[in-house]
Structure 1
Amino acid sequence: MKITTGLFCLLVFTACNWSEDEEIDHTANIRPLQVQEQEMVLSSSQFAFDLFHELQKKEDVNQFFSPYSVHQALAMAMNGNEDEIEAEFMRVLRFEGMELEEANQAAKSLTNYLLELDPKVRLSIANAIWYKLGFELNQEFAEDLRDSFSAEIASLDMSNPQSKDIINQWIENNTNGMIKDMLDAVSPDAAMYLVNAIYFKADWKYRFDADHTKKAPFYTASGSEMTVDMMELSSPAGLRYYADGALEYLEIPYSTGQYTMGVIIDKDFELDNKMEAFTLEDLEHFRANADTTNFFLKMPKFKMGYRIDNLKEQLQNLGLVKPFLPSPINFSKLFVNPTAPMAISRVIHEAVIEVNEEGTEAAAATVVEIELTSAGPSQPRVFSLDKPFVFFIQENSSGSILFAGKLGDPSMLN
């Protein structure tokens, strides 16, 4: 694994217990999470770390993805199954102990909470389903997805090559133009496409002055040095900070402070080894023990795009095996009339993030393709992100992970 040659980015919606003397901007619509919402936060966050560790095996130098988007798309696919196939989805998505209806309602409630939380943060989470023209959709399945995921549903001529433009335009519209032409083709054998799109845009609470951005060195894990556009705060800011040996954790707040980018950097350039065993519990420990410290923050300005053509291998390694194998019991709740055996053929994922002096803009989309088959405060310190580091964008009232990625060699970015 080569995390030290990349920046790991995780957009997280994370629980945090604030102390009484910490200042919160009450323009945010904060309320206590319901029990089901807390369970959903835990499920999606555990899945996020499961998927993150699987993707690190790809050893990509730079990486960025949205486990929250993948989780939403697969949760919709889960609703088309029953019995042992549904149970397999439940285990992989970390819904153990929950009934399907409980999982659906938790997803609905948490998504609504996220969307309504911070009026100064632009966040959209959208879902859509396209099914094969001429097939009769199971109305119970359709109503469940409309109610729990606000899914848009329509039939689609899978034999028409231009049908991909309909899906691609929907993705582009729901990612504010950040993701274009994601789907290369619509398979004539496709029975259904389940699609999630997520978009996030927020300004920093403490703005970087563009006049202070200058060329500065960034050091990779291999010891090479390159020049990047390094942003710098013009005055010290009180940022939550925690250190565990050579690992340092810092939170950089957005707008009202409900969302933050959490950064992990290793002074010994051993981030790859240490992140192999890094868990959700470790992140929670870092956040719970962080204290406010004054920093002159320096961080690189960057834009990153990342695409995974098929998450099949990673999801199978996590235990989602049967839905990828053609079987009459797969997706038995999708349609009214019997069909040929079905299986997931592709789970495509694409994500983009841009970090600049004003703030952060990020988007991601996930496409699940199901095919019919014939087979079956102190003195200011300087905190300079001039070497490989991990970062998290976090909301401070809950705990759902929305995006993840890594950056360690800015010279390899487009």
Structure 2
Amino acid sequence: MAKIVAAGTIAVLTACAPPVPGLVKADGVERVPVDRAAYAAEFQAFRASALTLGAALLADGGEGAEGNVVSSPGSLLIALAMLRAGASGETAVEMDQMLGLPDGNRDEAMNALLESLAAYDGDPGSVDEKDPPRKPVMHAANGLFVDKDVPTGRNYLETLARHYGTGVYPVDFRDEAATGPALDAWVDRNTGGRIKKAPAEYDRDNTFSLLNALYFAAAWQSPFDPNDTSDSPFTKSGGEEISVPTMYNSLQLAYAEGPGWRAVELPYAEGFAMRLVLPGPGVGPESLTAAKLTAIAAALDTAPEVSALISLPKWDHKSTFDLRKVFEALGLARTLVTTEDFDAIQPKLTLTQAAQAANITVAEKGTVAAAVTQINGAVTGVPPLPDQTIDFDRPFLYQVVHTETGLPIFMGKVADPR
């Protein structure tokens, strides 16, 4: 199998400046420049898809404390787009239909979206999170770890290089002592240390691990004055009233409202805004379906600015998700079980794990958040690699033995098998 890899995959790759393990990219394949203005319709489809994913993540709830949830539909969308690039057959159709992905030029459009985010790229490790930057840092990273002894599809690698700007890290998944820390180091580096470990539990049987990391840090356009922060009442869904640190500010904000909701956009200093949606009295956030969130987004796109006094609690939350449950809820049934529709990635690949970890800190000066989405897979129907390989390619001796007594019934030597 190692020879197959060398002939079928690694031969078309060339090593680049190697972090450990070495990053390998498709030889001669450069990322395609794109005209972002040409993909307005696809961006709308991506937004609707992300809102669908976000609603599913919120409905799942993850493992957040006290009902709090923080998720990254953006990270999940990018990871699923990378997975879709290697899908075929009924799984490809299912993913397109259930996720509402654009037809035809999906990868080109995702390239354009990632390029748009790249205008704010920066090193997460350089951010002072107690004083978020006026120019936002929006770092997006894609990583693909594959078992070095399993062939990875040439066309798939070229798509990743051409539209997602990434290559692969060939590793030995059976060597947990080396590969586990490598996955964790990638996560730690691309989230500025906010997430230390890959979200999926390590499995030595995996042969494929796809990751997306998003890191965001930005100052508010108009910071909240810490001197105005005070403990104020907050009523939980069950009616219990608690006291929480609450920020206050008087601002010009885009404002929209509709049946059962009110919404504002709280701008950061540049390029981004926090959309805040308040359900009506007696109605919880669970009423905000993907369709309603899409309508709210459209309303805020054209909403006028109004003078508003807002109070906003500070929060610092984290969540983790078993994404297989989320995929089931989204109707991705075949995606979860197929052993043939991801052959373009690895022969007989099936998904084994999917997980996300996310966190966010919102305070007077701004917001810092990070998320990692991980989708793992393993080849099926392929026997594990042996501990030893013995080639009888020179003269050898043989015996035909009666196993109960050990009696050699026949014994011989092969000097020339012809």
> Which TM-score band applies after superposition, normalised by the shorter structure?
0.7 to 0.9
Report the secondary structure of 1:131's partner residue. Answer: strand
Aligned counterparts of 2:261 and 2:97: Cα–Cα separation in 1: 32
TM-score, L = length of structure 2: 0.74
Q: How does 1:11-410 map to 2 (within 5 A)?
A: 33-35=36-38, 37-58=39-60, 61-96=67-102, 98-99=103-104, 102-116=105-119, 120-162=135-177, 163-183=179-199, 185-233=201-249, 236-245=250-259, 247-256=261-270, 258-272=271-285, 274-276=287-289, 278-288=291-301, 290-308=303-321, 310-327=322-339, 329-335=340-346, 339=347, 341-374=348-381
Q: Deviations over 1:168-205 (max 9, x none)?
A: 11011111111112345432221210100011111000
Aligned-partner Cα distance in 1 for 2:73–2:110: 14
**Is the Cα–Cα contact under 8 Å of residues 40 and 110 in structure 1 kept in the other structure?**
no
Inter-CA distance 107–184: structure 2 relative to 1 (3 Å threshold): closer
Amino acid at match of 2:76: V
Alignment check: 8 A CA contact 2:56 2:326 kept: yes
Report the Cα distance in structure 2 between the residues aligned to 1:331 and 1:140, rounded to whole angstroms. Answer: 12
- Say what the alpha-carbon RMSD is for the aligned residues: 2.5
- Mapped partners of 1:371, 1:32: distance in 2: 36
* Distance in structure 2 (CA, Å) of the matches to 1:330 and 1:321: 13
Displacement, 1:57?
3.7
Give CA deviations for 1:351-406 in whole Å, capped at 9, x if unaligned: 11100111011111100001123499xxxxxxxxxxxxxxxxxxxxxxxxxxxxxx
Q: Is the 8 A contact 1:132 1:158 kept in 2?
A: yes
Q: How far apart are 1:245 and its partner, in Å?
A: 4.8
Q: Aligned residues, how many?
A: 333
How much has 1:59 moved relative to structure 2? 5.2
TM-score by length of 1: 0.74
1:158 is displaced (CA, Å) by: 0.6
Cα distance change of structure 1 residues 228 and 130 upon mapping to structure 2, 3 Å threshold = same
Aligned partner letter, 2:248: E
CA spacing shift, 1:151–1:277, aligned 2, 3 Å: closer
- 3-state SS of paired residue (2:207): strand
Closer, same or farther in 2 for the Cα pair 1:40/1:168, shift >3 Å? farther
Label 1:149 to 1:280 Cα distance change in 2 as closer, same or farther (>3 A).
same
Q: Is this contact kept in 2: 1:43–1:93, CA < 8 A?
A: no
Q: CA deviation at 1:346?
A: 1.1
Q: Which residue of 1 aligns with 2:30?
A: none
**How far apart are the structure 1 equivalents of 2:260 and 2:107?**
41
Give unmatched runs, 5+ long, in structure 2: 1-33, 122-133, 384-418
Which has the higher relative contact order, 1 or 2, with Cα contacts under 8 A spaced 6 or more apart?
A: 1
In 2, Cα distance between equivalents of 1:120 and 1:243:
30
Residue 386 of structure 1 is matched in structure 2 by none
- Looking at CA atoms only, which structure, 1 or 2, has the larger radius of gyration? 2
The CA deviation string for residues 265-323 of structure 1, in whole angstroms up to 9 with x for no partner, is 13413134632475244113431452222223221111110100x21132133232223
- Structure 1 stretch displaced more, 216-225 or 313-322: 313-322
Residue identity (%): 23
Higher strand share: 1
Supply the distance in 2 between the matched residues of 1:59 and 1:136 (Cα, whole angstroms).
37
Deviation at 1:41, TM superposition (A): 1.8
1:325 is aligned with what amino acid? Answer: V
2 CA distance for matches of 1:160 and 1:272?
Answer: 44
